[in-house]
């Protein structure tokens, strides 16, 4: 484990307790956000010349898992907001100086979904739109969001051309009433509203260049980290936090079951059926962790050796990542169903882990349909097209 997680683990009990407050606030508490900031979670994938650590993606994933096991919302924000410095490393140097020059701990929210339209104008674009699910946004000073290129009338150009754009906090609004949900409440994943904001060219990137690795090459980033596949590193933070949530649920379940006796007078330690279910769930969660870390390690080694990571490999990697998420949440369901009525009480963390796990599984990055389709078709010698190549 790395130094960042070591620093966070000193406050594990406090972060668990602050998760209760975050659930009520529907955002991370200021104290929790400060703990993450002080530990350097969001610096892990940032370039060293701006105070970043350029950590191995495996260490980033393990850190996110560790935080998610303490508090699901804190892990989720760490995993999502933590990826954005990786991409900022490809933006024009002027943009990097704007974001990091004043504060190397600056947080950037998202989402990447192209829910707005960027209309070309002299020196850049005029952006309008509304974006949902901006995790951790209350604690961020910038956003990195997706937009579709528009024509002179503000209509989307077809076929679509997608951009990733940067805006400072002064250029967008946060809808304070847009986040009231059943799970991951503490992430504060509120809506963003942008009205006629000017974005200079240097604060934009073509999304396809980020996804195919050209953005890193054009900027001149030669480090292994920045030539790592986007379709592996972007989902990594999200799924790692979800696996951490599952590990947190398992730990909470074990703590509650050690001395538990059922209404029939049977100690859980003497119930072979429950013991089997616990063992099976624990094995599934461990398998999920191992699966995504193996992909990260293998892709890292290939990137370092400048070997091509083919579309088929990336598709299988996404299949592995998506399946890991579903496997882990199914395991959470198995242990939650055997936790007894006490797990339903809002005073216990078990119910929050269960809610957070299901909320995390609903993220678009965990939708298996097109990913499983693409991986299977590719292995059969086919050539996926259109949506079946998305995020691979």
Shared domain for 187 and 257, answered yes or no, is no
Provide mean pLDDT across the span 103-127. Answer: 96
What's the rounded mean pLDDT across residues 169-191?
A: 97
Residue 340 lies in a domain: yes
Identify whether residues 247 and 303 lie together within a single domain.
yes
SS3 124: strand
pLDDT tens sequence across 294-308: 999 999 999 999 999
| SS3 label, residue 209 | helix
* Position 209 in a domain: no
Measured CA angle at 385 (ends 384, 387), to 5 deg: 105
| 134 pLDDT above the threshold of 60 | yes
Decide if pLDDT at 149 tops 80: yes
The predicted-structure confidence for 155-170, as pLDDT tens digits, reads as follows: 899 889 999 999 999 9
Same domain, 180 and 262: no
What is 33-88 written as a DSSP string?
A: HHHHHHHTGGGTTS-GGGT-----HHHHHHHHHHHHHH-HHHHHHHHHHTTHHHHH
CB atoms within 10 A of CB 102: 9
Residue 217 resides in a domain:
no
Output b/e per residue, 294-319; b: 16+ Cβ within 10 A. Answer: ebbeebbebbeeeeebebbbbbbbbb
The per-residue pLDDT for 102 is: 81
Computed over every residue of the chain, the mean pLDDT equals 96
How many domains, in total, are found in the chain? 3
> What does the alpha-carbon distance between residue 62 and residue 60 come to, in Å, rounded to a whole number?
6
Looking at residue 316, what is its pLDDT?
A: 98
Q: Are residues 95 and 117 in the same domain?
A: no
Pair (267, 248) in one structural domain = yes
What was the pLDDT predicted at 2?
78
How confident is the model over 197-218, as a mean pLDDT? 97
The average pLDDT across 115-121 equals: 96
Query: Who wins on pLDDT, 360 or 154?
Result: 360
**Domain span at 242:** 228-389
Measured in degrees and rounded to the nearest 5, phi and psi for residue 180 equal -145, 95
pLDDT of residue 11: 95
Q: What is the pLDDT of residue 385?
A: 93
Whole-model pTM? 0.96
d(CA 295, CA 316): 9
User: Does residue 113 sit in the same domain as residue 33?
Assistant: no
Same domain, 332 and 362: yes
Residue 190 belongs to a domain: yes
Region 142-147 average pLDDT = 98
Q: Is residue 307 part of a domain?
A: yes
Residue 130: give its domain's CATH number. 2.40.110.10
How far apart, in whole angstroms, are the C-alpha atoms of residue 241 and residue 236?
8
Q: For position 1, what pLDDT does the model report?
A: 46
Mean pLDDT on 350-368: 97
For residue 73, what is the domain's CATH number? Answer: 1.10.540.10
């Amino acid at each position: 484990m790395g130094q960042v997680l070591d620093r966070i683990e000193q406050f594990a009990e406090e972060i668990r307790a602050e998760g209760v407050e975050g659930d009520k606030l529907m955002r991370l508490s200021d104290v929790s956000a400060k703990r993450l900031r002080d530990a350097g979670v969001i610096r892990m994938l940032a370039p060293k010349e701006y105070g970043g650590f350029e950590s191995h993606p495996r260490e980033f994933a393990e850190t996110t898992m560790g935080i998610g096991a303490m508090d699901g919302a804190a892990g989720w924000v760490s995993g999502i907001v933590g990826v954005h410095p990786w991409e900022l490393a490809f933006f024009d140097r002027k943009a990097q100086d704007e974001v990091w020059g004043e504060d190397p701990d600056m947080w950037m929210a998202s989402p990447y979904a192209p829910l707005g339209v960027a209309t070309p104008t002299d020196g850049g674009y005029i952006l309008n739109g509304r974006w949902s699910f901006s995790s951790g946004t209350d604690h961020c000073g910038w956003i990195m969001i997706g937009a579709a290129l528009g024509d002179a009338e503000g209509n989307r150009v077809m076929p679509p051309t997608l951009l990733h754009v940067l805006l400072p906090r002064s250029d967008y609004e946060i809808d304070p009433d847009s986040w009231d949900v059943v799970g991951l409440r503490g992430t504060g994943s509120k809506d963003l509203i942008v009205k006629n904001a000017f974005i200079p060219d240097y604060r934009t990137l073509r999304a396809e260049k980020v996804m195919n690795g050209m953005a890193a090459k054009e900027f001149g980033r030669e480090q292994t980290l920045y030539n790592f596949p986007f379709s592996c590193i972007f989902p990594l933070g999200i799924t790692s936090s979800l696996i951490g949530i599952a590990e947190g649920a398992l730990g909470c379940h074990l703590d509650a079951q050690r001395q538990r006796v059922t209404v029939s007078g049977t100690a859980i330690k003497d119930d072979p059926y429950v013991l089997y279910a616990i063992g099976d769930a624990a094995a599934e969660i461990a398998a999920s962790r191992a699966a995504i870390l193996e992909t990260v390690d293998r892709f890292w080694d290939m990137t370092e050796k400048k070997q091509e990571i083919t579309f088929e490999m990336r598709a299988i990697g996404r299949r592995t990542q998506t399946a890991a998420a579903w496997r882990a949440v199914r395991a959470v369901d198995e242990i939650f169903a055997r936790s007894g009525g006490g797990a339903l009480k809002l005073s216990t963390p078990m119910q929050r882990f269960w809610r957070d796990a299901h909320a995390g599984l609903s993220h678009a990055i965990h939708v298996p349909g097109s990913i499983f389709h693409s991986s299977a078709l590719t292995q059969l010698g086919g050539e996926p097209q259109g949506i079946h190549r998305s995020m691979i």
